[in-house]
Amino acid sequence: MIGVPFLGAESFPKPGNSDEVSLLGVYFDQTPEFFSQDIKGKFKLGMDGLELNSSASAAVDLTITNSSFLRNRTNGLQVLADGNSAVSVRATGSRFDRETGPGIGVDLSAVGAALLDFDVSDSTVINGLNGSAFNSYVAGTSTTRGRFDNNPDVQLGGGSSPGMGVRLSLNESAMATYDVSNNVISNIGSDAGIQTVARAGTGRMDTRVNSNSVAVDGTGLSLFNIWVQAQDNNILCANVISNTNTGLPFLGTFRERTSSAGATVLLQGFVSNATATWSNNGNTPENVNSTNVGTLGDGTCADVPTSGFPFQ
């Protein structure tokens, strides 16, 4: 594990001389000064506020509460689970704010055969520019289960600036289950408010996108408010319900797509087509862009467990 900047080695104890640990708990509470960068000083080119890398068969439990990650020019928080490691990340009540510079708020990734559980909730701000405000990447044969809920200020740079508010990317033969609920996402520039994509293999993503407020650019620069897409031979099951969308997306409020013959999108509560399903599930407004080379149909999506953490 690496913590940058301003985190001394005493913050990351390593038992003995081993690079592998059976269980390591790391807890931060009310320590905003640890995770800020002075853009006029030594770190003006940018570093992660806090970076955690887990490999081999390590098990890591990271808890962050009431902390601030400020002016980090790459990622406010970055976690990578690799190998056969198991990582749980809970970040509540914290601020991930690039302020006036570029950066990603939170980036959580699982590769190899790792297991990553996360709960990012009740954040005061998650702010990105030239990248996503929140990004989850899953690849290999890894598994991710995550909640991104009740975050009242998820934003990007607006105008023509690139980046997603929330980006969930499943690749290869990985598996992922997500809940994205009750978030306020705004100031989206040239991309989308929420993107879920499964590609490059045979893996499956299940995601619940529920009761979010998504505001994109009002001058027609943004692509979509919410975007669901499967490619190659992957499956994406999406339960998209009760979302309120504003702005003037160039290509549609809701984008549903299968771009390969072997790809499958399953929409929970499916009614005849993507447009009817979108409206029947309580989403507004009705401005749907749906194209399919593969299969579009009905499905029951798996849910992230409602109790216990790490998830059982």
- Residue 60's CB is within 10 A of a number of other CB atoms, namely 21
- Residue 299's CB is within 10 A of a number of other CB atoms, namely 18
- Residue 33's CB is within 10 A of a number of other CB atoms, namely 10
What's the DSSP call for residue 161? -
pLDDT-derived band at 40, boundaries 50, 70, 90: very low
**pLDDT exceeds 60 at position 252:** yes
Q: How much is the pLDDT for 173?
A: 97
Q: Say how far apart CA 222 and CA 286 lie, in whole Å.
A: 17
Q: Say how far apart CA 130 and CA 305 lie, in whole Å.
A: 33
Structure tokens at 74: 């790459």
What's the DSSP call for residue 47? -
Q: How much is the pLDDT for 46?
A: 58
At residue 11, φ and ψ (nearest 5 deg) are -80, -15
pLDDT-derived band at 45, boundaries 50, 70, 90: low
- Residue 27's CB is within 10 A of a number of other CB atoms, namely 10
Q: Say how far apart CA 208 and CA 231 lie, in whole Å.
A: 19
pLDDT-derived band at 161, boundaries 50, 70, 90: confident
- Greater confidence (156 vs 310) lies with 156
Q: How much is the pLDDT for 162?
A: 87
- Greater confidence (49 vs 148) lies with 148
Q: How much is the pLDDT for 73?
A: 76
Q: What's the chain's average pLDDT? A: 85
Q: Which residues contact 143 (CB under 8 A, 6 or more apart)?
A: 110, 114, 115, 116, 174, 175, 176
**pLDDT exceeds 90 at position 124:** yes
Structure tokens at 279: 């409206």
30 alpha carbon, distance to own chain's centre: 24
**pLDDT exceeds 70 at position 20:** no
Task: Convert 134-150 to b/e letters by CB count within 10 Å (16 or more is b).
Answer: bbbbbbbbbbbbbbbbe
The pLDDT of 126-140, averaged and rounded, is 93
pLDDT-derived band at 36, boundaries 50, 70, 90: very low
The pLDDT of 214-225, averaged and rounded, is 88
The pLDDT of 184-190, averaged and rounded, is 93
